[in-house]
Amino acid sequence: MTSVILATATRYLMPMLLLFSAFLLFRGHNLPGGGFIGGLVAAATFILHSLVFGVGETRKILRVRPVKLMGLGLLIAMASGLVGVFTRAPFLTGKWYELVLGQGDKWHVGTPVFFDVGVYLVVIGATLIIILSLAEED
């Protein structure tokens, strides 16, 4: 797996793939995509990197341990559910708010988006734990 072409291609593809995964995550509410798919794309990107450069390198550029990503994701998903509870609605009720970004630009934020981010992180974390740990096995 030490093909120069692949290595170079991966190096340039990485940021784009990660951007694409985030794009999939956030557009998922309106078009095909979402936390599961985005998370899988992101995980696949890192797995590709690990196949080319080795797991050690991948862990270095990851900086965060996948276990933490997984836990963080679960926490975010649950926290997004609590917003509903604080407004006296059942757990995980979707709440939407409008943020005015000056000059009349509005941005719709809702707890389901954060929930999806949680899903995204859990999927990345779990997938990376599975594949990277196996790749490191002798």
Binding residues (CB under 8 A) for other proteins: these are 28-37, 40-41, 43-44, 47, 66-67, 70-71, 73-74, 77-78, 81, 91-92, 94, 96, 108, 110, 112-113, 115-116, 118-119, 122-123, 125-127, 129-131, 133-137
CB nearer to other proteins: pick between 11 and 27: 27
- What is the spatial distance between Cα 93 and Cα 114, in angstroms, rounded to a whole number? 12
Residue type, 57: E
CA dihedral 15, 43, 39, 41 (to 10 degrees): 60
Least CB distance from residue 52 to other proteins, whole Å? 13
Least CB distance from residue 72 to other proteins, whole Å? 11
CB nearer to other proteins: pick between 31 and 99: 31
Least CB distance from residue 10 to other proteins, whole Å? 15
What Å distances lie between residue 135 and 23, 58, 67, 74, CA to CA? 28, 11, 16, 25
Least CB distance from residue 62 to other proteins, whole Å? 15
CB nearer to other proteins: pick between 35 and 52: 35
Least CB distance from residue 102 to other proteins, whole Å? 22
Burial class (CB within 10 angstroms; exposed 0-12, middle 13-18, buried 19+) of 129: middle
Q: E-assigned strands of the chain?
A: 96-100, 106-110
- What is the spatial distance between Cα 48 and Cα 68, in angstroms, rounded to a whole number? 21
CB nearer to other proteins: pick between 9 and 91: 91
